[in-house]
Amino acid sequence: MDCCAPSNNTGAARTDCPSCGEKGKNIQLITLKSLLKASALEKIEPENSYGFCSNSVCSTVYFSMNHLQTFAESDLKVPVYQKNPSMNVPVCYCFDWTRDRLLQAAGTHQQPAKQIKVHVQAGRCGCELNNPQGACCLGNVNVFLGGLNKG
């Protein structure tokens, strides 16, 4: 949305993160409503558009596209995969595959990526409610598993 609009217009929806300047991803309000703690939820302005910053070195998770609000990982009920390197952080939020669980499944016959894909295709996932990025985790799962295979 608004990808061609000049970004220096006051009041224009800006998809760049106000904290790090990287381009964020438009996020549905339902994801913020589902994952923000009450103290942060009380501050959202539903008429605003919000973005998600996936930059791992930036502390901002969500920002309003008028650049007046930012929310950090501590404002969310769950740890954020992109911001938190802990092994007990979910990569797949819907089916509870943490980095640790994926690591343990690697080298067994469990094939987590395949399992997750089956559930996704069956329409069982709720990424917009469970995953802070508001979208399917499969890309992250494959990148994580791919990194394991290389290392």
Catalog residues that contact Zn ion under the rule CB under 5 A: 17, 19-20, 53, 55, 58, 60
Given the complex with Zn ion, which of 13 and 53 has the nearer CB atom? 53
Rounded to an integer, what distance in angstroms lies between the CA atom of residue 16 and that of residue 84? 21
Closest listed residue to residue 105, CA positions, set 144, 73, 135:
144
60-79 in b/e burial notation, b at 16+ Cβ within 10 A?
bbbbbbbbebbbebebbebb
Lookup result for tokens 């006051």 = 10
How near is the Cβ of 77 to Zn ion at its closest, in Å? 20
Given the complex with Zn ion, which of 83 and 101 has the nearer CB atom? 83
Distances (CA, A) of 19 to 2, 55, 61, 93: 20, 10, 10, 25
How near is the Cβ of 57 to Zn ion at its closest, in Å? 8
How near is the Cβ of 127 to Zn ion at its closest, in Å? 21
Given the complex with Zn ion, which of 56 and 104 has the nearer CB atom? 56
Q: How many residues does this entry show for the chain?
A: 151
Rounded to an integer, what distance in angstroms lies between the CA atom of residue 36 and that of residue 42? 9
Given the complex with Zn ion, which of 3 and 57 has the nearer CB atom? 57
How near is the Cβ of 34 to Zn ion at its closest, in Å? 21
